[in-house]
Chains A and B, each alone.
Chain A
Amino acid sequence: MRFLSFIVTVLTGAVLIYGTLDMPDWGDPNSPASRHVSPRYITKTEVETATPNMVTSVLADYRGYDTLGETTVIFTAGVSCILLLRRRKKTTG
């Protein structure tokens, strides 16, 4: 069983390494991730949000709804932790 898991792990790793052969090089300025929407954030952040820190402006202004959903995730996790860990009075468990 342990040997089977090791084989599966090595196979998955080999497939992923094969997949990296088509990935953009490290530090490539023309990689697809850096070309599409990120130049707009870099150039317009001062004009539109008056925030010098681009990470803050994207997190709190452009993607504010994303951050709102993130707080919902934390809230759900906290509520489920409370529900799981509270001591019930009648049943033992």
Chain B
Amino acid sequence: MEFIVAKYNYWIYIILMMIGFYAMIAKKNLIKKIIGMNIFQTAIILFFVSTAYKKGTTLPILTSADAHGEHAIAVAQYLNPLPHVLMLTAIVVMVATLGVALAIAIMVYRRYGTLNEDEIIKAMK
């Protein structure tokens, strides 16, 4: 039971990630593939944010007592801020890839009149 409690967050993210992975490789519609890619990226972001958590800690914003230098800052009191920062960057990259992917999907639709992968490959030959 303790083992499940210690690891279940990773398992949830893996299940979410595999939903996105399945959508990316099995679905024929390009928009559904893009949605799968977004689910995949969201799972990775959630995974990184969960590694930042430490039991019994608060948000990585200094309390007023710590901010005025009245005593030494206890590391065990605050969350790990680094994964949050890195995931802020990852969210930006996610939005950028989503935008470019949707633009390419629009171009494919204008050219071939469909978003179905098989029909596009047939039309390309």
Q: Report the bound CA distance from A51 to B18 in whole Å.
A: 39
Interface residues in B12-67 by Cβ distance below 8 A to A read 14-15, 17-18, 21-22, 25-26, 50-57, 60-62, 66-67
Q: Which of B9, B21, B61, B100 contacts A77 (CB 8 A)?
A: B100
- When distances are taken between beta carbons in the complex, the residues of chain B under 8 Å from A93 are 107, 110-111
For A, the interface residue count at a CB cutoff of 8 angstroms equals 51
Does more than half of chain A's interface fall in helix, strand or loop, or is it mixed?
A: helix
Q: Which residues of B pack against A, CB within 8 Å?
A: 5-11, 14-15, 17-18, 21-22, 25-26, 50-57, 60-62, 66-67, 69, 72-73, 75-76, 78, 80-85, 88-89, 92-93, 95-97, 99-100, 103-104, 106-107, 110-111
